[in-house]
Amino acid sequence: MQRYKVAVCQMIIHQEKEKNLVRAREMIGRAAKRGARLVVLPEMFNCPYVARLFPQYAESYPEGPSLQMLSRTAREEGVYLVGGSLPERDGDQVYNTSFIFAPDGRLLGKHRKMHLFDVELASGLTVKESSTLGAGNQVTVIPSELGDLGVAICYDIRFPELMRLMVLKGARVVVIPAAFNMTTGPAHWELIFRMRAIDNQAYFIGASPARDPMAPYVAYGHSLVVDPWGNVVSMAREGEEIIYAEIDLDLVEKIRSELPLLRHRRTDVYALELLAP
Ligand SMILES: NC(=O)CCC(=O)C(=O)O
């Protein structure tokens, strides 16, 4: 499918997991009725973004209630679903993981956040994901009839090597469930999505939670879709909202053939090497 509609569900995240599942279900249904073939949820969509809470909300595949809801909803609505991310339990470890489902409810793949957000910013914002989470080590590209979808999570976008590796593996659309904050969001959110799209000549889709000024971690909002030329084709404001955009894979090919950045890389001089399996 060369052209299709994507929807990004910028939802408020509540303390109660069940409320988040109901809200996500309802927004996905609404997006599907508007013709979206690909629907995207934000980072940690079932859970407040607070590191110490992640183990408490964590679920295992396939029995976790959030994972059941995502699979069932993808099937009932007939959409490709990038289920934002949620705390995934695997044995003793918890990961920040995005699960991706096909329109028949099958799990197509998953991405475990590779770069953990451990920061102490001058604004007073301190986050230490590594206090409760393990890091993934896979570059995630999901073949689908929507083209190869690259998936990474939030802070991962700051690492251009990972974005480039996804594109070298075939990604033409890169989906990033994310939750930038009120310090880094205004400074970097739009800029970084546009720059990664320009560098890689791919669509970049960012899905944020809606901003809740009373939340312990205040998300920036402004979910967006950037085209391979770096144009912002759709952007949310701060509140709850679904944004839509048309993905045109022919545009990716057109821009890559007019301005052949990927071909012009000097791979005889430098290399980007994938070390993990
Ligand atoms: N949840 C995150 O990874 C936040 C990343 C972030 O805000 C950033 O600026 O990077």
**Mean pLDDT per segment of 10 residues, for the chain of length 277 residues?**
97 98 98 98 98 98 98 98 98 98 98 98 96 98 97 98 98 98 98 98 98 97 98 98 98 98 97 87
Question: How far, in Å, are 85, 189, 210, 216, 217 from residue 213 at the CA level?
Answer: 21, 18, 10, 8, 8
Scored b (16 or more CB within 10 A) or e, 259-270 reads eeeeeeeeeeee
CA of 43 relative to ligand 1 center, distance in Å: 10
pTM of the model: 0.98
pLDDT digits (tens, 9 = 90+) for 11-38: 999 999 999 999 999 999 999 999 999 9
Fold (topology level) of 3-258? Nitrilase/N-carbamoyl-D-aminoacid amidohydrolase (3.60.110)
Q: Best substitution site from 45, 95, 97, 127 to test ligand 1's pocket, by max atoms within 8 Å of Cβ?
A: 127
What's the rounded Cα separation, in Å, for the pair 6 and 176?
13
What's the rounded Cα separation, in Å, for the pair 80 and 208?
18
Cβ atoms of residues 129 and 120 within 8 Å: no
Cβ atoms of residues 97 and 136 within 8 Å: yes
Q: Using CA positions, which residue lies closest to atom 7 of ligand 1? A: 180
Cβ atoms of residues 183 and 221 within 8 Å: no
CA of 170 relative to ligand 1 center, distance in Å: 25
The whole-number pLDDT of residue 197 equals 99
Q: Which of 133, 162, 144, 157 is nearest to 224 (CA)?
A: 157
CA of 117 relative to ligand 1 center, distance in Å: 6
Q: Using CA positions, which residue lies closest to atom 3 of ligand 1? A: 155
117 lines ligand 1 (CB under 6 A): yes
Q: Using CA positions, which residue lies closest to atom 1 of ligand 1? A: 179
180 lines ligand 1 (CB under 6 A): yes
CA of 124 relative to ligand 1 center, distance in Å: 14
Question: How far, in Å, are 136, 194, 212 from residue 171 at the CA level?
Answer: 19, 16, 33
Write out the two tokens for 172.
């033409």
The whole-number pLDDT of residue 276 equals 78
156 lines ligand 1 (CB under 6 A): no
Q: Is 119 exposed, middle or buried (0-12, 13-18, 19+ CB in 10 A)?
A: middle
The whole-number pLDDT of residue 112 equals 98
The whole-number pLDDT of residue 184 equals 98
Domain residue ranges in the chain: 3-258
Instruction: Give ipTM to 2 decimals.
Output: 0.99
The whole-number pLDDT of residue 121 equals 95
Three-state secondary structure of the chain: CCEEEEEEEECCCCCCHHHHHHHHHHHHHHHHHCCEEEEECCCCCCCCCCHHHHHHHCECCCCCHHHHHHHHHHHHHCCEEECCCEEEEECCEEEEEEEEECCCCCEEEEEECCCCCEEECCCCCEEEHHHCCECCCCCCEECCCCCCEEECCHHHHHCHHHHHHHHHCCCCEEEEECCCECCHHHHHHHHHHHHHHHHHCCEEEEECCCCCCCCCCCECCCCEEECCCCCEEEECCCCCEEEEEEEEHHHHHHHHHHCCCCCCCCCCCCCCCCCCC
Q: Looking at the annotation, which residues are catalytic? A: 43, 113, 154
